[in-house]
Amino acid sequence: MKDQFIVSGGARLEGTVVVDGAKNSVLKLMAAALLAEGTTTLTNCPQILDVPLMCKVLEGLGCEVEIDGSVVSITVPKKPQSNADFDAVRQFRASVCVLGPLTARCGHAKVALPGGDAIGSRPLDMHQSGLEKMGARTRIEHGAVVAEADGLHGASIKLDFPSVGATENILTAAVLADGETVLHNAAREPEIVDLCTMLKEMGANIEGEGSSTITIRGVEKLHPTEHKVIGDRIVAGTWAYAAVMTQGDITVGGIAPRHLHLPLEKLKSAGAEIEAYDNGFRVCMRKRPVAVDYQTLPFPGFPTDLQPMAIGLSAIADGTTIITENVFESRFRFVDEMLRLGADAQVDGHHVVIRGQERLSSTHVWSSDIRAGAGLVLSALCADEVTTVHDVFHIDRGYPNFVENLKRLGATIERTQEPELY
């Protein structure tokens, strides 16, 4: 049976929450462990559904994986399998990040085309093109992407768009390629920097991470390591928006504030008081927020993963907001659920215009992806009565202890099972 959240509106969230490791980093780090024989250990791992799913993918490739709370240990054999199991891979998008490591280690990779959130098309053409420039042959057949290489070599590669996934697969292939690879228009996200940090700890030769040009000089062999996953900036940003939406006061720990510079600046413009610390920040809101415009862009722009939270905030802000989505074309599916909550919003192409109102109206809403689900829960806290949020398994894929943290902050929320329908 599916779970649902029963959320009562009207709570002011107040207190402290510490974020775990980043979902968008840990899964890629787990895949990168394939590059070295032996046991790699990751600490500060989030306890979310996607981590055991990635464990299944790695086990299907011949690895031994152990999870002990926030610690994941991955023992990689001398010769991993190169066929990523369809049933495990199809459940989440990040599984495609095994493509680069398997091509580099095995000279062959067959990875089922992944599933994941319904936020728009995310083709693999840039992944394939990058590997092909390094000497691989790639194709799509029988629902899987296949890469084969007699040996990878360095290349100059320019991405059409700073794709995080393509940057990761090219990086993890290039570290074992013969010669120098220069990746232009690379993604600059903190999770890319975290991946490069771990690869360098394993013996890789990488320069320029965090910039749009990354230089990788291939080495013959990497070794296993122990690495601490960086804090989850999207979860931290969600709590920041929760504070402003509920006119609350939340201190968030376990995160570098610089990873959320623009979102926090947007909240400051909306009227929030922001205090930054070495490993966290505090967001305090004492009045109704003021409307602020947004446009999503790759880092260091406003993250598309926080767009649902921006829509939720705009729906109860004073004034009119225009939000432009530049990353995923289907992310405005979330707006349909906000309309159920009584939001005054109108979509026009990749823009949405939102006229704020003081209160939303409670109803039943359905999560379509991880961030949409979290955004709906925050919006339900701003509704007049009790809202039921369905399909919350999406939220569990990205937010550890979400209900428990909300309760500690003062929310009235319960996880229950959806009734059976006959």
Contact (CB, 8 A) for 61 and 23? no
d(CA 183, CA 166): 10
List all residues 6 or more positions away from 290 whose beta carbon is below 8 Å from its beta carbon.
269, 270, 271, 317, 318, 319
| Contact (CB, 8 A) for 229 and 42 | yes
Catalytic site includes residue 117:
yes
Answer yes or no: is 377 a known binding residue: no
Look up residue 252 and give its two tokens.
Answer: 């968030």
Cα–Cα distance for residue pair 338/345, rounded to 1 Å:
8
Query: Was 105 annotated as part of a binding site?
Result: no
Supply 350's token pair: 């990749």
Is 93 annotated to bind a ligand? Reply is: yes
In whole angstroms, what is the distance from residue 146 CA to residue 405 CA?
Answer: 42
The residues that bridge with 8 in the sheet, in sequence order, are 386, 412
Side by side, which strands form the sheet with 249-253?
14-18, 249-253, 280-284, 273-277
Query: Between β-strands 137-141 and 108-112, what pairing exists: parallel, antiparallel or unpaired?
Result: unpaired
Whether cis (ω within 30° of 0) applies to the bond prior to 300 is yes
The position carrying tokens 């969230």 is 13
206 with 35: CB under 8 angstroms?
Answer: no
What is the rounded distance in angstroms from the CA atom of residue 375 to the CA atom of residue 252? 18
Which tokens go with 383?
A: 């509704």
Buried b (16+ CB within 10 A) or exposed e, 165-180: bbbbbbbbbbbbbeee
Type of residue numbered 280: G
Would the annotation count 23 as a binding residue?
Answer: yes
User: What letter represents residue 121's amino acid?
Assistant: S
List the catalytic residue out of 20, 50, 117, 396: 117
Rounded to the nearest 5°, which phi and psi values hold at 307? -60, -40
Annotated binding site for UDP-N-acetyl-alpha-D-glucosamine: 93, 305, 327
Annotated binding site: 23-24, 93, 305, 327
Annotated binding site for phosphoenolpyruvate: 23-24
Q: Any idea which residues carry the catalytic annotation?
A: 117
